[in-house]
Amino acid sequence: MSITKPSLPKGTRDFSPVEMVKRNYIYDTIKTVFRKYGYAEIQTPSMENLQTLTGKYGDEGDKLIFKVLNSGEFLNEPKKKSFDFVQDDNSNKLVSLISEKALRYDLTVPFARYVVMHQSEITFPFKRFQVQPVWRADRPQKGRYREFYQCDADVVGSPSLLNEAEFILIYHEALTNLGLKDFDIKINNRKILSGIAEIIGKPELIVDMTVAIDKLDKIGFEGVTKELLERGFSNADIEKLEPVIMLKGSNLEKLESLKNVLATSAIGLKGIEEIETVFAYVSHLTSHISNLQLDITLARGLNYYTGCIFEVKTNEVAMGSIGGGGRYDDLTGMFGLKDLTGAGISFGADRIYDVLEELNLFPKSAAQGTKVLISNFDEAAELYALPILQQLRKQGIAAELYPSSAKLKKQMSYADGKNIPYVILIGGDEMESGLLTFKNMESGEQEKLTITEIIARIS
């Protein structure tokens, strides 16, 4: 066995105990809210058949799918011989001969596959959440990884806009529980965007229009104008678009203006009505919600969504969106199950992690580590400590006995390194009196206490 200096594949990460506690805190907070709103967890395999994934993410997406090599002596199988390795110098063709499986690219397509495969066992409307890693052969960069977790909640089989309203509440509750104070939940509706393109008389350019106006934040109205002209809109079109894009005021004011602008577009008015219904549900469910904003420039993956769309941004840290989603009317159609409406949202757990880190919002109490270390002076003290150790654990207290009679300094730095808040010191005096020295590692204070008193102190 040759010795190799170990390294990690590009764009992948190890998570240390401290990082895992924080990651679990985020996942658990989000999962708890999902469950409270009636969503149930499922998991799907990391590998899917290649044909399940291919063609679902566009050409660019297909290239980013990690393919898994067939196992065994795959070149010796007769059918592989049909590939002329000299003439036919094409990666894609070779892939089709030597790979039948791939790592999932997102949680949405596997969910669609799940719904179709298990449709007879599922109780509809089916509200599921899923928190699992996905893999993309993207070029790694700051905040972009080749393996990362998605946290998705989707409902299929219910057209009710109550679902959309509850997504807003889920975002509000989960992010508030995570300690975020200032974030925007942006909402728009694909039908409103269709209506706008219709009114301008360029329904065929809806994708170009939305791609351009989606950039308003970044490039301003002048930049958007330039891009719209390049994408086939006229100055007259842009004149009509301007008041819609630059819409100001409260959500109600925006809706009133839009009603005038879209008065002759049935689909546009339908979009407005859907937003109004969602707002009505929200106001009946709760008296307070974070900054919920109707944002006409919000586009997201339009080919995919057909109704309301969402995006969540924090205002406390410069960071892209930390969540998004929307309604899609035909997700399972790709697997032959037609007319099943769905809606879903996603939390960007990795970005939320960075936000909480920057704002120092991870609670101390999120620590799941060892609560007490018992020092180990010598063999007699070790034996004396063993039943005490077990007594602590019986009370549900995570406890350790230092596993050798090393120098006290070393034992203390072990407690420090693991962020253990309390140390119990047991020497000759303690064994004689039964009063143990209980040290608070943060304050440095020491007290003589019985084990019962210590347990009461910690619990």
Known binding residues are 106-108, 136, 150, 154, 300, 304-305
Nearest to 427 by CA among 448, 410, 442, 413: 448
Interaction mask 111-150, a copy of itself, x per CB under 8 A: --xx-xxx--x-xxx-xx----x-x-x--------xx---
Residues 6+ apart with CB under 8 A from 20: none
Footprint of a copy of itself on 235-294 (CB under 8 A): 281, 284-286
Least distance between a copy of itself and beta carbon 102 (Å): 9
Q: How far is the CB of 343 from a copy of itself (least distance, A)?
A: 11
Work out the burial of residue 387: count CB atoms within 10 Å of its CB; fewer than 13 is exposed, 13-18 middle, 19 or more buried. exposed
Structure token pair of residue 77: 């199988």
Contact with a copy of itself (CB under 8 A) among 257, 277, 370, 437: 370
Which one, 95 or 435, has the nearer CB to a copy of itself? 95
Q: Specify the residue, 89 or 222, whose C-beta has the smaller distance to a copy of itself.
A: 89
String of contacts with a copy of itself for each residue 321-350, x by CB under 8 A: ------------xxxx--------------
Give the contact letters, 194-233, x = binds to a copy of itself (CB under 8 A), - = no: ----------------------------------------
Residues near 237 by beta carbon (within 8 Å), at least 6 away in sequence:
200, 201, 202, 228
**Between 420 and 459, how does the x/- string for binding to a copy of itself read (CB under 8 A)?**
----------------------------------------
Please, which residue, 121 or 204, has the CB nearer to a copy of itself? 121
Give the shortest CB-129-to-a copy of itself separation in angstroms: 9
Distance CA 438, CA 445 (A): 8
DSSP letter for each residue of 311-351: EEEESSS--S-SEEEEEES-SGGGGT--S--EEEEEE-HHH
Q: Which amino acid is at 431?
A: M
Residue 16 beta carbon to a copy of itself: minimum distance, rounded to whole angstroms: 6
Task: Name which position in 171, 233, 414, 422 contacts a copy of itself (CB under 8 A).
Answer: 414
Q: How far is CA 393 from CA 13, 373, 431, 436, 448, in A?
A: 33, 12, 20, 17, 20
**DSSP element (H, E) containing 447:** strand 446-449
User: DSSP assignment, residue 79?
Assistant: G
C-beta of 284 vs 457, nearer to a copy of itself: 284
Radius of gyration of the chain (CA): 29
Residue with tokens 């205002």: 315
Q: Which stretch binds a copy of itself (CB under 8 A): 208-216, 251-259, 264-272, 399-407?
A: 399-407
Query: Counting contacts by CB under 8 A, is residue 404 touching a copy of itself?
Result: yes
Binders in 31-90 for a copy of itself, by CB under 8 A: 35-38, 40-49, 51-52, 55-56, 63-64, 66-69, 71-76, 84-86, 89-90
Return d(Cα 138, Cα 94) in angstroms, integer: 21
